[in-house]
Chain A
Amino acid sequence: MTSPAVPVVRVAPIPKQKRQTFVQWLKSNGWRHAIAWVAVAFAVTPVLWVVSAAFTTNPTISSGSLIPTDPTLDNFKRLLNNPDQPYVNWYVNTMLLAIIVALFTVLIGAGAAYAFSRFRFKGRKVGLMFLLLVQMFPQFLALVAIYLIMAQVSDVFSGIGLDSLIGLGLVYLGGAMGINAWLIKGFFDTIPMEIDESAKVDGASHGQIFWGIILPLAAPVLAVVGLLSVIFTINEFVIASALLQSPQKLTLAVGLQQFIGEKYSENWGPFAAGALLAAIPVVLLFIFLQRFIVGGLTQGSVKG
């Protein structure tokens, strides 16, 4: 269920060019620029449209233009000041949930990867195969069962069952070990055993080796796993919409879907503002961690 991974992108150095005629340029590189422009337009237009709508007062979806003529913050005010749609709660819920789940996902995945990479024990191969096998059954396929289990949990621990963000986070952690353990193990395997052994000679325990040596060295792959987990949690709709009920406990995906559903023309402006606010941290995170993504996945990846 993790998002697809990004491989290395190496940009070749651009050698100095001689002056060309326009036709020569068109033949060699010009058509490439033309295609690139069209593709960029396809990729970027919807995004620009939303940014523009966010800053336009009462935009209809159609009347918006790519550059707002008279930019205002009205939509943000309408979005944040409406108690019927507690956007701030959704925002905080989603980001906290995403970060906390990512943190535990990384720890659970790294722990399992450490055991499978550094220890030889009975059932190791079976365990690894088992993790792959279980991963083939996406968690949300068992949605009905998860819902019914959480309904039972509600009766005993009212805080972590249905309609609880903690409960939702716990459910997400059920999918934390499978493919992540494999991904991280691939990276751990590339860290030479000699490092562990020399630490062991110096008297380090297995815990000290894990926390003090392996984890810091594996930072790139841990960042990738964490980022993928954050993106997964923010995008997850099915389980969240089945488990969460109270308006102030929703995640952004469920909340915004309910907010905009059926009322596109009415709520388009505030929705655009909300979408913009929600997208910014994720896009920034993506940009900041891109070099980790590149580094992490080329070294330890199972994904080519």
Chain B
Amino acid sequence: MIQRLIAQLGGTPALLLKLLFLGLVNGMTVWAIPTMISNQSWVMMAVLVVATLALDFILLTSRYIPAKYVIIGAIFLTIFQLIPIFYNVSIAFTNYSTGNIGTKPDAITAIVRDSAAESEDSTSYDMLPTRNATGDLVLILTPQVIAADTPVDATDPMAPSASADPGLEEFGGEPAASEPALEEFGGAETTPSAAPSGDLTSGTNDLNVATDAEASDLPPTYAGTNDGLDELPASDVQRDEFGTVVSATGFVNVPPDELSTLESEFNDLAIPGPQGGVIKPQGYATAAELVPTLTYDAAADTFTSLDTGVVYSNNGSGNFANPDNVEDVLVPGWREYIGFTNFTNVFTDSQIRDPFIAVFIWTFVYAILSVFLTFVLGLSLAIVLNKPRMRGQRIYRALLVLPYAVPAFLSILVWAGLLNDDFGAINSVTGWNVPWLFDPFWARVSVVLVNLWLGFPYMFLVSTGALQSIPSELQEAARVDGARSFQVWRRVNMPLLLVALAPLLIASFAFNFNNFNGIYLLTGGGPAMDNSEVAGATDILISYTYKIAFSAGQGNDYGLASAISIYIFIIVGTISAISFARSRALREDRA
């Protein structure tokens, strides 16, 4: 019935399906090309176009019949496995990390912009956020008459965001992106914007001045947008009794309760000011013209600080740095190829090396212990239950396999609850008071114990299978020759078992070497090591790598993470190569 249906499908309908599929793929590619060109995603475009053409060619012609069956899998393999591997290798040779994400021109622009600070003679403005007829944010700005050196961000909730760089927030809120440009400089003498130099009464002074000014001529009021300042006719501006602008004709005030949602729109605003700087909001009611404190010299490829006169030069590894103090670098930096630095730092930089070595050793201990204990327990149970005259074998087997059938991530999360030392079932039922997950030693015991629970059913199953496949003639022959049961085990059964199970044990080792869930979902790699901000006592290489790349708080170091993942590949690859070389599969195909 099904066969007949398929035989019928073999004709026109199959062809139509194929054409429909190819039409969709080609259509999507063509549709995406303009976007990819405007994004300058050249590699992606090349991959997509080549893949589409290959698909068309192979599915529409009959020249390569086997390729028809491989092509779709091969495309997925290429895009989501091969290209990531090569990309990963190329990242490993860069300094790609928090603070070194963009290109060099982007970094220069960002440094100049972030260095902007109020200078002695820059103007402050009273600010009224409004929206124009089209809903765009427009700041109604009135210069404060005294050139204010008002403290900008001492108490102001909005001030830090004024220096945040939206272009760098690709990975969501990195801490460094919102830090001031001169990271290593301590506030006061070098960054006036952060210096609490103004007197506490300056705000009141401004108000008085404005009131006085009302009598004489009022300062002009401007509508500020990214296009610049646009002076408003005095008749369009409404003021209160103190002379403060309260509204402007043609603009709708932003309601006070919506002010806190304006942060990203404020960040996007950079109103060109009359003194050559940019006017940025400083809080919700004032704005100030900020002038860069660092200037870039393209010919020399250096930055000069206008405040201190320090010249920052390109340090060759993606940052402008003070030659007299290598720690004094300007952020952000940019992505730069740094050769084998990431690979060698693992051995030479003690801040990376010490935790790495601890993690490296524990990874081996964990993987070997896991394989050994699960195998011993699984094999023992298989031997105990491998008795022909025994009731209830079926039910025992079914129940023993249960941990293998339950999704591992669930079991691990459950175990994390049971082992919790405050209210976990194990401590409260037994009356022990063991810090299962928070003491380095006991946390290690816990991850091994849980992995034993997860892994022994598999070893039990494969050992049972292997035991039952040992020909009984061999054992009988050994007995006839006078061997005792222990000798039969030692000389006949064990060698045969190990030959059959060795590839599985190696595969199990490789699996546990990278058993991310078994560690991360139980302890998160913790408890933290004394000598590392990232690594914990139970971290294995793969969870350590993940935390280097993705964990929030310490910053993300993609370059280092990629380099370590290549080390992992070399280790696991070597082990797998040994196992594959011994594997039956290869020999079968050679025959």
A78 within 8 Å of B (CB atoms) = no
A sample of 13 inter-chain contacts (CB < 8 A) reads: A33-B392, A40-B399, A44-B402, A49-B425, A136-B572, A136-B580, A144-B88, A177-B76, A212-B6, A234-B407, A235-B409, A256-B410, A304-B584
Residues of A close to B387: CB separation below 8 A: 29, 32
What is the CB-to-nearest-CB distance from B103 to chain A, in angstroms, rounded to a whole number?
Answer: 15
A223 within 8 Å of B (CB atoms) = no
Q: Mark A21-63, 1 if CB is under 8 A from B, else 0.
A: 0000000110011011001101110110110000000001111
Contact status A257-B458, CB under 8 Å: no
Instruction: Give B543's nearest chain A residue, CB to CB.
Output: A238
A201 within 8 Å of B (CB atoms) = no
In the complex, identify which listed stretch (B202-210, B260-268, B303-311, B415-423) lies at the interface while the others stay far away: B415-423
A302-B572 contact, Cβ under 8 Å, with A47-B402, A170-B80:
no
User: For the complex, what is the distance from the CA of A124 to the CA of B64, rounded to whole Å?
Assistant: 13
Contact status B10-A151, CB under 8 Å: no
Instruction: Give B458's nearest chain A residue, CB to CB.
Output: A4
Contact status A177-B77, CB under 8 Å: yes
Q: Mark A235-257, 1 if CB is under 8 A from B, else 0.
A: 10110001000000000110011
Contact status B405-A156, CB under 8 Å: no
Residues of B close to A49: CB separation below 8 A: 414, 418, 425
User: For the complex, what is the distance from the CA of A304 to the CA of B36, rounded to whole Å?
Assistant: 48
A153-B413 contact, Cβ under 8 Å, with A141-B569, A242-B550:
no
Most chain A CB within a 10 A radius of its CB, from B420, B458, B461, B583: B461
Residues of B close to A96: CB separation below 8 A: none
Residues of A close to B558: CB separation below 8 A: 144, 148
What is the CB-to-nearest-CB distance from B556 to chain A, in angstroms, rounded to a whole number?
Answer: 9
Instruction: Give B565's nearest chain A residue, CB to CB.
Output: A141
Contacts of B107-159 to chain A: CB distance below 8 A: none
Given A136-B569, A141-B542, A143-B565, output 10 extra A-B contacts at Cβ < 8 Å: A9-B468, A43-B457, A61-B428, A62-B428, A115-B67, A115-B69, A137-B569, A144-B562, A256-B410, A271-B417
What is the CB-to-nearest-CB distance from A278 to chain B, in angstroms, rounded to a whole number?
Answer: 6
Contact status A62-B425, CB under 8 Å: yes
Which size bracket describes the interface of B in this complex?
35 or more
Residues of A close to B298: CB separation below 8 A: none
In the complex, identify which listed stretch (B440-448, B474-482, B515-523) lies at the interface while the others stay far away: B515-523
The listed residue (A171, A216, A260) touching B80 by CB distance below 8 A is A171
B170 within 8 Å of A (CB atoms) = yes
Contact status B407-A174, CB under 8 Å: no
A140 within 8 Å of B (CB atoms) = yes
A226 within 8 Å of B (CB atoms) = no
User: For the complex, what is the distance from the CA of A182 to the CA of B77, rounded to whole Å?
Assistant: 15
What is the CB-to-nearest-CB distance from B508 to chain A, in angstroms, rounded to a whole number?
Answer: 7
Q: Mark A62-77, 1 if CB is under 8 A from B, else 0.
A: 1110000000000000
The listed residue (B88, B414, B429) touching A62 by CB distance below 8 A is B429
Instruction: Give B450's nearest chain A residue, CB to CB.
Output: A46
User: For the complex, what is the distance from the CA of A174 to the CA of B80, rounded to whole Å?
Assistant: 5
Contacts of A91-139 to chain B: CB distance below 8 A: 108-109, 111-112, 114-116, 119, 121, 124-125, 127-128, 132, 134-139
In the complex, identify which listed stretch (B224-232, B361-369, B498-506) lies at the interface while the others stay far away: B498-506
Contact status A40-B407, CB under 8 Å: no
Residues of B close to A62: CB separation below 8 A: 423-425, 427-429
User: For the complex, what is the distance from the CA of A264 to the CA of B3, rounded to whole Å?
Assistant: 54
Contact status B414-A64, CB under 8 Å: no
B105 within 8 Å of A (CB atoms) = no
The listed residue (B79, B411, B427, B568) touching A141 by CB distance below 8 A is B568
What is the CB-to-nearest-CB distance from A188 to chain B, in angstroms, rounded to a whole number?
Answer: 11
B162 within 8 Å of A (CB atoms) = no
**B interface: dominant SS:** helix
Residues of B close to A46: CB separation below 8 A: 411, 414-415, 418, 453
A303 within 8 Å of B (CB atoms) = yes
Most chain A CB within a 10 A radius of its CB, from B87, B586, B589: B589
Q: Mark B432-470, 1 if CB is under 8 A from A, else 0.
A: 000000000000000000000100011001101110110
B259 within 8 Å of A (CB atoms) = no
Most chain B CB within a 10 A radius of its CB, from A13, A29, A143, A205: A143
Contact status B7-A12, CB under 8 Å: no
B471 within 8 Å of A (CB atoms) = no
A145-B87 contact, Cβ under 8 Å, with A29-B389, A108-B73, A235-B408:
yes
Instruction: Give A39's nearest chain B residue, CB to CB.
Output: B381
B13 within 8 Å of A (CB atoms) = no
User: For the complex, what is the distance from the CA of A145 to the CA of B469, rounded to whole Å?
Assistant: 45
What is the CB-to-nearest-CB distance from A261 to chain B, in angstroms, rounded to a whole number?
Answer: 8
What is the CB-to-nearest-CB distance from A157 to chain B, in angstroms, rounded to a whole number?
Answer: 7
The listed residue (A210, A231, A286) touching B69 by CB distance below 8 A is A210
Contact status B39-A176, CB under 8 Å: no
The listed residue (B3, B87, B466, B572) touching A7 by CB distance below 8 A is B466
A296 within 8 Å of B (CB atoms) = no
Contact status A134-B81, CB under 8 Å: yes
Residues of B close to A7: CB separation below 8 A: 461-462, 464-466
A138-B82 contact, Cβ under 8 Å, with A29-B389, A149-B87, A238-B546:
no
Contact status B520-A304, CB under 8 Å: no
B573 within 8 Å of A (CB atoms) = yes
B44 within 8 Å of A (CB atoms) = yes
A155-B41 contact, Cβ under 8 Å, with A14-B389, A44-B402, A216-B2:
yes
A15 within 8 Å of B (CB atoms) = yes
The listed residue (B44, B393, B410, B588) touching A156 by CB distance below 8 A is B44
A193 within 8 Å of B (CB atoms) = no
A9-B464 contact, Cβ under 8 Å, with A151-B170, A174-B80:
yes
Contact status B385-A32, CB under 8 Å: yes
Contact status B65-A36, CB under 8 Å: no
Contact status B85-A137, CB under 8 Å: yes
Q: Mark B503-532, 1 if CB is under 8 A from A, else 0.
A: 110011001001011001100000000000
B24 within 8 Å of A (CB atoms) = no
Contact status A111-B72, CB under 8 Å: yes
The listed residue (A40, A124, A256, A279) touching B406 by CB distance below 8 A is A279
The listed residue (A6, A142, A153, A212) touching B85 by CB distance below 8 A is A142
Contact status B409-A61, CB under 8 Å: no
Residues of A close to B385: CB separation below 8 A: 32, 36
Contact status A36-B407, CB under 8 Å: no
Residues of B close to A304: CB separation below 8 A: 462, 466, 500-501, 503-504, 584
Contact status A138-B572, CB under 8 Å: yes
What is the CB-to-nearest-CB distance from A250 to chain B, in angstroms, rounded to a whole number?
Answer: 13
B400 within 8 Å of A (CB atoms) = yes
What is the CB-to-nearest-CB distance from B173 to chain A, in angstroms, rounded to a whole number?
Answer: 12
Contact status B7-A29, CB under 8 Å: no
What is the CB-to-nearest-CB distance from A17 to chain B, in angstroms, rounded to a whole number?
Answer: 6
Residues of B close to A137: CB separation below 8 A: 81, 85, 569, 573
Contact status A61-B423, CB under 8 Å: yes
The listed residue (B2, B384, B458, B466) touching A35 by CB distance below 8 A is B384
B553 within 8 Å of A (CB atoms) = no
Residues of B close to A135: CB separation below 8 A: 576
What is the CB-to-nearest-CB distance from A148 to chain B, in angstroms, rounded to a whole number?
Answer: 7
B388 within 8 Å of A (CB atoms) = yes
